[in-house]
Amino acid sequence: MERIEIKCPAKVNLSLDVVGKRNDGYHLLRMINQSVSLYDYLTIEKIKSGIIITSDKNDIPLDESNTCYRAADLIFKKFGIDYGVKIHLKKNIPHGAGLGGGSSDAAGVIKALNELYDLKMSKEQMMEIGLKVGADVPFCIVNRTSLVEGIGEIISPIEKIENLHIVIAKPNINISTKEVYSKLRLDEVNKRPNIDKMVEYIRNKNYKMMASNMVNVLETVTLNEYPILLEIKNIMMEFEAEGSIMTGSGSAVIGIFEDEEKVKVCYNRLRDYIKDVFLVKTVNEGV
C-alpha cells in the first residue's frame, strides 16, 4: 500500500469540569467527549524522504507546528523509518473552535501511518504517541462516547450515543485556550457538571436529561468576554434544543436535539448571521 485516505471527525464536549492543576501547569479535567459527523479528510502517501504537508486552506500552518507534521515526525523517529510522507489536508472543521480539528488530524495521521507502514501499533501505543502531540489526540484515536480524565489521556468509553442530532455554530472569533485557562477562577465557579450523573444518563439513553444538564466551567470566562456565545446558546434554546453548551474553550457552541425537524429549523435560523453552522450527528468510529 502506497497511499491511504482517512476521515477525521470533530469532537464536542457534552460537559467539561476542571478539577485541579498539575505542578507543570496543566489543568486536570473530567469531561464527556463525543465524536460528530463533521470531518477533515487526509490523503497520505509514501514518498522517498521528508514530511510534506499541503492543504486546501491557506490559513493552515504547513511547517513543523502542524499537528500532522508532529505526529508523522514522532512516528518516523520512534520506528526509524527511512522513507517520507506527503499529507494533503482537506479542512472542514474550523480551527480555534474547541472542536479538536488539529487533534483529530494528528490522530488520523497516526492511524494511517500505522496501516501504511504496517507498524502493528496497539490502540494504547497510538494514544501514547498522540498525547505527545496534544491532550485531545488520545480521545481522537478512540473516537467514541467517552469519559475523559487527567489532562485528556485517561479514556473510559461508555455506551455509544448513536445518531443524536446536533447543530454547531462557530462565530467569527478565535479564542485562545491558554488565555481561557489562565483566566479561570475555580473558586468563583458556581455551577459544575455532575459528570457521574451524566454518565448514568448516557448509559440509560436518557438524552433529554443529559442535554439539559450539560455544563462547561470554561463558560465562566468566555460568556462574559464574548456575548455572542450567550446569544447563540439562547437562540438554540429558543428553538427548542434539549440543551446547549460551548465546546472546549470555544468558540463553537452546540445544541442537542432529539427531533430532526427542530434541529433543521434552528440550523436555518443560525445561518442568518453566523457563517460557520453545521448540522451533524453523533458518530462512533474509533479503532
Is 255 flagged in the annotation as binding?
A: no
What number is the average pLDDT over the span 114-131? Answer: 96
171 is annotated as contributing to ligand binding: no
Which residue type, as a one-letter code, is found at position 45? Answer: E
Angle value at C-alpha 31, between 25 and 33, nearest 5 degrees:
120
Q: What is the pLDDT of residue 134?
A: 94
Per the model's pLDDT, the better-predicted residue between 50 and 96 turns out to be 50
Q: Which domains does the chain have, with CATH numbers?
A: 3-157 (3.30.230.10), 165-283 (3.30.70.890)
DSSP string, 233-248: HHHHHHTT-SEEEE-T
Cβ atoms of 180 and 101 within 8 Å: the answer is: no
pLDDT in tens, 48-77: 999 999 999 998 899 999 999 999 999 999
pLDDT score for 215: 98
Q: Is 102 annotated as a binding residue?
A: yes
Element spanning 127, H or E: helix 123-133
pLDDT at 286 over 80: no
Crossing angle (nearest 10°) for helices 101-116 and 67-79: 30
The confidence score (pLDDT) of residue 23 equals 84
Q: Percent of the chain having pLDDT more than 70?
A: 99
User: Per-residue confidence at 287, pLDDT binned at 50, 70, 90?
Assistant: low
How far from chain centre, in Å, is Cα 256?
16
* CA gap 27, 33 in Å, rounded: 17
Q: What is the pLDDT of residues 145-157, one digit of tens each?
A: 999 999 999 999 9
Query: Do the Cβ atoms of 178 and 160 come closer than 8 Å?
Result: no
101 is in an annotated binding site: yes
**Average pLDDT estimate for 120-133:** 96
Residue 81 has pLDDT above 70, yes or no: yes
Confirm whether residue 20 is marked as ligand binding.
no
The residues carrying an active-site annotation are 11, 136
- The total of other beta-carbon atoms located within 10 Å of residue 98's CB is 30
